[in-house]
Homo-oligomer: A and B are copies of this chain.
């Protein structure tokens, strides 16, 4: 299972979100053809991806949505929300803390900020600690995932502290480039790319 290529993992996330939407709409089964059409993939690609889960499709019926959601959440290691910390309680950090949709997916147990006016407070229910306490809190709570929303100039140093303390995955919202030692996975989120993607579909003025 550990050998699923990253691009496939990405598609599994897309399948999961689409399946959850279909479930909400009251559907029970979905064909690989419908999944392919809605996600702009080929039928063959979808079937090949879902082969990882054994024979789940029923002839003529397609996949049982509820069952596939359960399997996907297991594979992605999100059967229950993962615990994480957030570093940088500025506008973006606060926006994530404020989002019930984000908070439903991840259990943010602590936030960290360099601003002493924020330390000791709670933001949307999450306690804010000083940056100096990152190492201690990560070790004590055994946290593996960190969400990085600091200013870019301090991001590499903070990432070093996180990795030293035992963090294995960093969701990097900053434009800083962060080096990942073996066993640590850095996922860069680049919101400008989303905008560039959109602009292709919009006529120029």
Contact = CB atoms under 8 A, between A and B. Distances in A.
Instruction: Tell me which of A7, A10, A152, A194 has the highest count of chain B C-beta atoms within 10 A of its own C-beta.
Output: A194
A169 B195 CA distance: 10
A13 B197 contact: yes
Given A90-B95, A91-B92, A205-B144, A9 B200 contact: yes
A198 B95 contact: no
B171 A194 contact: yes
Q: How many copies of this protein are present in the complex?
A: 2
Contacts of A198: 145, 169-171, 185, 187
B192 A77 contact: no
Nearest to A202: B169
A189 interface: yes
A96 B202 contact: no
A126 interface: no
Contacts of A181: none
Contact of A83 (B99, B200, B205): B205
B168 A203 contact: yes
20 contacts: A4-B200, A9-B200, A10-B197, A13-B193, A76-B199, A77-B204, A78-B199, A82-B195, A90-B95, A96-B191, A101-B192, A105-B195, A105-B196, A144-B202, A145-B195, A145-B199, A168-B203, A169-B198, A169-B199, A187-B201
Interface of A: 4-7, 9-10, 12-14, 16-17, 21, 40-41, 75-78, 82-84, 90-92, 94-96, 98-99, 101-102, 104-106, 142, 144-145, 147, 152, 168-171, 175, 177, 185, 187, 189-205
Given A7-B41, A16-B196, A21-B177, 9 more contacts: A4-B200, A77-B203, A78-B199, A105-B192, A144-B202, A169-B198, A169-B202, A187-B197, A189-B194
